[in-house]
Every structure is written in structure tokens, then in C-alpha cells.
Structure 1
């Protein structure tokens, strides 16, 4: 088959109908997402946290059971005015169950490494980051990222600061290959539905990250779908979608699920052929990168970095039959 026809044949097998309706309901028995807020701390006491969110000033009750993270176990002192926070309510009421303060994440390709810093290319949508790796953290990072050198992938959970992100812990283990040589799935294989693999999260809190959404590794790079033309195929077989498409994301560790829209092209995630071991071992491949709000709402721990996931696309081929 000539190359052009060959490429088009593969596209037909992997292309979701971009105008298709939203997928059906969430899996039977799955619980809905928890309430999550993101914003700037205005005030905090043992009983009340006041945030400035996109909706305005918001008050969240606090209890003795509320757990606060800022680079590890934290207390009320971490909730200084001006700091950014992701706040999740427990399932039994409006009180805060978890609060992550100034949490961020840097995922991408190492460009340069200094004595205690790493310059990272986070992809065409996220730019570059200058990450500080303190000596007390370096050993922990090297255990899971032994090739901390230019050309290899890195993934670290950070505390954000006025001077940039400071690494706290590795987000996942480093794949053993260079970033420009990712493992690729069989291009002729039809995508299953659901697709199972790893869900991670990206960014932290900010104007474009406070939404309930996800970055998808296989946003179509042709036409007006919004994808990256040179995005790698990845090791998980995914149907192509467009920005604005919706999928059902099911956290198979926490048994929560929701319909989540695609808000960004997650082309960097396609380079990671790794696994999540949050509850058993997931199949290889990052199949969604959730915003911090969506990840926490679906029961994920932002400091842990991943959960095992099933993503239901509900797509049909051009003849109206399943893949």
C-alpha cells in the first residue's frame, strides 16, 4: 500500500468521530467525583479556610481531620495568605478533607542539568521550567530517575515558589529510553473501549488549571482538532479526538468516575510508557493527564501522582459499528 494510503488507513482505524455525542453514563456502581476548589488563600483558622476562587470569596469548613500538604505533612502554618491551594471536601459533608498548598508538577524532557537544578522542556503548550532539586531530595529522585541527564524524561511533584518549582518527590519512575525514542504501539491495532492505563495530572493551580478537564495524548493533529502535528504515537492505542471532546474517566483505585472534557493536547504524556502501581499494576501508557481539580475530584492524591484508570470513549467507526 502506498505510504499516503497506508497512513490514511491507519487514521481511519484510530479516528474517533469528532462530532460524536458525549459518551454514555459512567460505569454502574461508580461514585461521582468529590467537590474540589482551587484558589488563593485569604485567611485560615483551625475551623475555617477562606479562598479567593474564580467564583469569588469561598469559605470552607476545617476540622481536626483535615490533612494539609506543602511538600509533605503540613499544618495550619502552611496556609499563609497569598499561597495557592487545591481543597477537596470529604464525601460526608462540606468540610475540607485534603488541602494541597502550592503543589505543582513538572513533566518533560531534561535539557540541561546543574549541580542542584534541571532545565525541563515541558512541551509546546507548557514551555520550559527551571526546577531546583534540593540535596535532601536528590537521592530520592535518582532512585526513580537514574538517568537524570539531557535527552531523558523527568517527572517530579514540586512546591511552587516565587523563584520557580522546587522538587519534592518523583511523580513516577523514569522510562528507560530517551525522550526522542518512545515505545510505540502497533499502528494498525484498533483501539479498545475502554482503554486501560495510567492517569496522571498536570500543572498545579492557575487560571487554566482550575477547570475540571484533561489533556489527551492523542488529539488529532490534522484539521482544526487542536492537536500537535509531530506528537508521538505512544505505547497505548488511543482513538484520536479533538479539543472539546468528552470521555468517561473511571478511577479504578477509588471507584469514582465522571465525564471529563478534553481541554489541552497532552502530547508529552504520549512519550511516557510507564505504569501506575497505586492499586495493582496498570497496563503501560499514560492515557489521560487530568487537571489538578479533576484528579483530586476523582479521588487521586496529588502528591502520589497517578492512579489506575479506564477511559471510555463510546466511539463508533464510520459504518456505525464498534472498533
Structure 2
């Protein structure tokens, strides 16, 4: 369940009182660099894309001849079939003109619990449940470059496409190879760190409603903090649902405040690094929803970017 707007505002007011800073609210100032759109394709022509959004409305987006379309790699306009899901990045010049479109892109991140041939059952954490992903024979070798041990207990992070109710895992996320192929159980006793600047890797996760938010690996497990009983291998400061982190994409320079809407406990199990613009100095410190990831200049098919996260703790 997403934290309510009232809960988020109340926690920001309390933090502001303790720290002596005036509270800020996202609706009072437009702090997002761009606003991605997610929806189901209704119609597409060489010049206009029509999407049905999650709230039931429809929007028509102009497309230029240089628009980039992804459907398991670079694709043509034929990939924009009605009924498919699309994530659209608008042009930097403003307006709703589509600059980049990802069609039916999906990601499965978690611990393999069962394998039957090329079909894997993956535990994606208590908030996302168990997912089933098929890795076709032609993609198996490519996936094993990053995940050599595709067996129960091993970590898996693949990007692919949805076809109906099936997810095809076609390529690994573009990070360095996982040093420890099996899921690492965090220490049962750990202490929160007091650091406020985190430098590491940002990844993305599927969210059905297209919200802008973050999953954070170290949510307080007590009270209504939202923690899910696990934590990071390396120390991170504790936060709660409704907290706010300021995220900067070090590959593009774009940044924005992002609310914490979920516990990213599975991200804490990975020890890999992002290699998009140099090697990130640390592993996964935040997961962003698709819209937030795209708004901050991330490419969904790349899977990650190097990030600086400011944690506003009094």
C-alpha cells in the first residue's frame, strides 16, 4: 500500500520542526525535470500516439521522425500496437512530444525459488510477491553472463517484455557481474548509519499505477516505518514510508526530490555496481519507479544509473 499524502506531509512537517527548515511540498513547486507518461496504447500513426492513462483519461502525443522506440531493442512504428503498454519520455524542449518510447518493458528482480527448464519462479520480496519469468533459449547465454548460476537461491535481475500474462526475460540489467551469485542474508543485528549523502546505484522497478516514488533498502522495521524485516548488506540510514530523498543522476546531472513509497529490501541483497558512466562507488542504494527513473534521465533498457542520494535526516 502506498503511504497516504497526509502521512507524507505530516512526517515532513515533523522533520521540519526538528531541523528548523521550512517544509516543502511537491505540489507547491514543480521540481521534476520532465514528466514521463505511462499508459496503454489506443492508437498510433507515424505522427501521433494515443495513450489511455491509469486514471481513465486519454492523451495524444505528437511524434517526430526521430522518435526512438524500444521493443526488445530498437524497433519501428509497427511495435506500437493497440493494447500494449508504453512508457514515454517527452522531448527536452517541453510539451508532450514523444522523444523515447519503451513498449511492454518489464523487469524481474529477486531470488530464484524454483526452476523448470527455462521457466523461473522468483521471490520479488514481500511487497511484490512471486513472479514467473521465462528466459528463452536464445537469451539464456546472455543472461548467464551476469547470472552464471541460475538455480534456486541465486539472485536474478532481467529486463524483457510482457506478452499477455507472460514475462520474457531477454537480457540482464546492465550492471557489473554479481560477486556473490547466491542471495546474501543480511546480518540479524545492524545499526543505522548517520550519513546523509549516499553514492551508488539506482535501478528501477515495475509499478502498475505509474506513480513517482522510490523503494529504499533500509526502512525502519518498527512501528509504521514500513520496513519488511530485512536490510542492506552495507549500512544505510534508516528511513520510513513517506520520507523524502533527493536523487541526482550523476550521468545526466538531473535531480529531484522523490518520496519513499516502498521497502526495497531485495535491492539490499545485490552487490553489483552500475557501469553506465564509470563504475558506481557503491551497490544499490535506491530503486525508482519507472516514471521517476525516466524523468531523471534514466533509460529503462539500460537498467541503472550512477546516483547521489541525499537523505534529509534531522
Q: Is the 8 A contact 2:106 2:160 kept in 1?
A: yes
Q: Please, which of 144, 147, 150 is the counterpart of residue 146 of structure 2?
A: 144
Give the Cα separation in 2 of the matches to 1:155 and 1:19. Answer: 37
Query: Do structure 1's residue 234 and structure 2's residue 233 form an aligned pair?
Result: yes
Give the Cα separation in 2 of the matches to 1:167 and 1:139. Answer: 12
Query: Deviation at 1:23?
Result: 8.3
Give the Cα separation in 2 of the matches to 1:241 and 1:189. Answer: 9
Give the corresponding residue for 1:264: 262
Give the Cα separation in 1 of the matches to 2:168 and 2:178. Answer: 18
Specify whether residues 42 and 110 from structure 1 end up closer, same or farther in structure 2 by C-alpha distance, changes over 3 A only.
same
Give the corresponding residue for 2:205: 202
Mapping for residues 148-227 of structure 1, pairs under 5 Å:
148-171=150-173, 172=175, 173-181=177-185, 187=190, 190-203=193-206, 206-207=208-209, 210-227=210-227
Deviations 1:141-171 (A, max 9, x none): 0111101111010000120121321012101
Give the Cα separation in 1 of the matches to 2:84 and 2:220. Answer: 37
Query: Deviation at 1:130?
Result: 1.2
Specify whether residues 240 and 189 from structure 1 end up closer, same or farther in structure 2 by C-alpha distance, changes over 3 A only.
closer
State the TM-score, normalized to the length of structure 1.
0.84
Give the corresponding residue for 2:15: 20
Give the corresponding residue for 2:84: 83
Structure 2: state its 5+ residue gaps: 1-10, 17-21, 26-30
Greater RCO, 1 or 2 (C-alpha within 8 Å, sep 6+): 1
Give the Cα separation in 2 of the matches to 1:179 and 1:18. Answer: 38
Structure 1: state its 5+ residue gaps: 1-15, 26-30, 317-323
Give the Cα separation in 1 of the matches to 2:306 and 2:185. Answer: 25
Query: Do structure 1's residue 60 and structure 2's residue 64 form an aligned pair?
Result: no
Q: Is the 8 A contact 1:153 1:175 kept in 2?
A: no
Specify whether residues 23 and 33 from structure 1 end up closer, same or farther in structure 2 by C-alpha distance, changes over 3 A only.
farther
Query: Deviation at 1:176?
Result: 1.6
Query: Deviation at 1:111?
Result: 1.0
Query: Deviation at 1:226?
Result: 1.3
How many aligned positions are there? Answer: 290
Query: Deviation at 1:18?
Result: 9.8
Give the corresponding residue for 1:283: 281
